[in-house]
Amino acid sequence: MTQRKGKSDAYAAAGVDIDAANRTVNLIKEHARSTFGPKVLSEIGLFGGLFQLSGFDEPVLVSSADGVGTKLKIACALDKHDTIGIDLVNHCVNDILTLGAEPLFFLDYIAMGSLVPEKVETIVRGMAAACREVGCALIGGETAEMPGVYAEGDYDLVGFIVGVVERKNIIDGSQIKAGDAIIGLPSSGLHTNGYSLVRRLFPIERPALDTLYQELGRTLGEELLEPHRCYYSSIKPVLPILKGMAHITGGGIIDNLPRILPRGLAARIERGSWHMPPIFPLIQKRGNIDEGEMYHVFNMGVGMALVCSPENTSKLMGELPEARLIGEVVKHGRGERVRIV
C-alpha cells in the first residue's frame, strides 16, 4: 500500500486528497500485517514487497491477475463492501490452484474517483481474511484516486497473485486421457462472472436488490453478493491424484474445460448430475435465455472441475464429500469440445 506524505491544497482542489490517502494506509496496514509470516521480509510503506522463497527443490512460480467484474456494481448499489475483497482473493487463488500451486503473496489495486478511507479499509479487511485462510501474504498494493476517470461512488478492484509449485508436481492437463473422470465441485452461486447479463435482467437498485425471492431463500442482493468460493484447502490433499483442474469462470463450462484438455479430446458432461443453485433457473426464466448460452456464461453450479483416472474416482470423491461425478473425457471428433447431454 503506497505511502503518501504531505498536503497540497491545489491538488485537493483538483480532486486528489493526499491526507485521505495517508489515512487510508494507516487504516489498512494492520489488516495486511495480519497475513504476514516469517517469509515476508518487508514492512508496509516500502516501494516493493520482499518475500523469501525457500523449502523447494525446483520451485516454479505461478502468477495470475484478475478482477471481480461488474459484481462491483452490486456492492456499490447496496453499499456493502466487506465481501468483494474475498471474491477477488478467492478467484485468484483458484486460478493458480489449477496448476497445483500454493499461494505465496497477493497484491491489490484499488482505484476510486474520490478516496473514501473507510470503504478501502472494509475492502482490504475482506482481502486479508481470505489471504489468512490460505496462508497467503497480502504483501502490498496501490490505492489510486482518479477523479474524472471514475464516477463518484464507483471503484475498480484488481488482484495479482504469485504462488509456487515443485516442477515435478505441476498439473497442466497433459496426462489426461479418454475415459478419465470429470468431477465437479459446487459453486456458491454466480461467483464473479455473468453480472453484466444479470444487470440487464434485474434493476440494480435498492428496492429490487432487497426483494426476497422464495426460491433463493433470501434477497436478490444477498444472493448476488455471495462470495466466490475458494477450493484450495479442500483440494490440496488430493492434488497428487489429479490430472487437471478447470476453474469455471467467464465462459462457463463450455469455454473453461477445453483449456486443460489435450488435442483430440473432449468432455462429455451429464446435465442433472449435480445440484444447480436456484439463481441459475431464475436468471434463465427471467431473461428467456437459451440453455446453451447459460452454460456459456455461468458456472451453472460447478465452480471447479477436476479430472482424474477412473481408478482414483472413488478415492477422490471420498475425500471431497460435496464432489459429484459429472462426466468423462472422450475422444474429440467434430463439433464442440464440451457436450452437455
In angstroms, rounded to a whole number, what is the distance separating the alpha carbons of residues 275 and 246?
A: 18
Return the domain boundaries, the chain.
9-169, 181-340
Would you say domain 181-340 falls under CATH 3.90.650.10? yes
Q: Is the dihedral of CA 44, 50, 56, 60 positive or negative?
A: positive
In whole angstroms, how far apart are CA 326 and each of 118, 185, 277?
44, 9, 16
Residue 45 is predicted with a pLDDT of 81
The answer to whether 42 touches 1, Cβ cutoff 8 Å, is no
Burial of 85 (0-12, 13-18, 19+ CB in 10 A): buried
Residue 79 is predicted with a pLDDT of 97
Spatial neighbors of 197 by CB under 8 A, at least 6 apart, are 283, 287, 289, 297
For β-strands 137-145 and 244-247, DSSP reports them as unpaired
Look up the CATH superfamily of 9-169: PurM-like, N-terminal domain (3.30.1330.10)
Q: What string of H, E and C letters represents the secondary structure of the chain? A: CCCCCCCCHHHHHCCCCHHHHHHHHHHHHHHHHCCCCCCECCCCCCCCCCECCCCCCCEEEEEEEEECCCHHHHHHHHCCCCCHHHHHHHHHHHHHHCCCCEEEEEEEEEEECCCCHHHHHHHHHHHHHHHHHCCCEEEEEEEEECECCECCCCEEEEEEEEEEEEHHHCCCCCCCCCCCEEEEEECCCCCCCCHHHHHHHCCCCHHHHCCEECCCCEEHHHHHCCCCCCCHHHHHHHHHHCCEEEECCCCHHHHHHHHHCCCCEEEEECCCCCCCCCHHHHHHHHHCCCHHHHHHHCCCCEEEEEEECHHHHHHHHHHCCCCEEEEEEEECCCCCCEEEC
> What is the block-wise mean pLDDT of the chain (341 residues), using blocks of 10 residues?
54 80 88 95 90 96 97 97 98 98 98 94 98 98 93 94 98 98 98 97 95 97 98 98 98 97 97 97 97 97 98 96 98 92 94
Q: Do domains 9-169 and 181-340 have the same CATH topology?
A: no
Which has the closest alpha carbon to 213: 278, 298, 301? 278
The answer to whether 84 touches 75, Cβ cutoff 8 Å, is yes
Residue 24 is predicted with a pLDDT of 87
Grid cell 435498492 is found at 206
Residue 90 is predicted with a pLDDT of 98
Q: Can you give the pTM of this predicted structure?
A: 0.94
Residue 44 is predicted with a pLDDT of 85
Q: Is the dihedral of CA 12, 15, 21, 27 positive or negative?
A: positive
Residue 8 is predicted with a pLDDT of 59
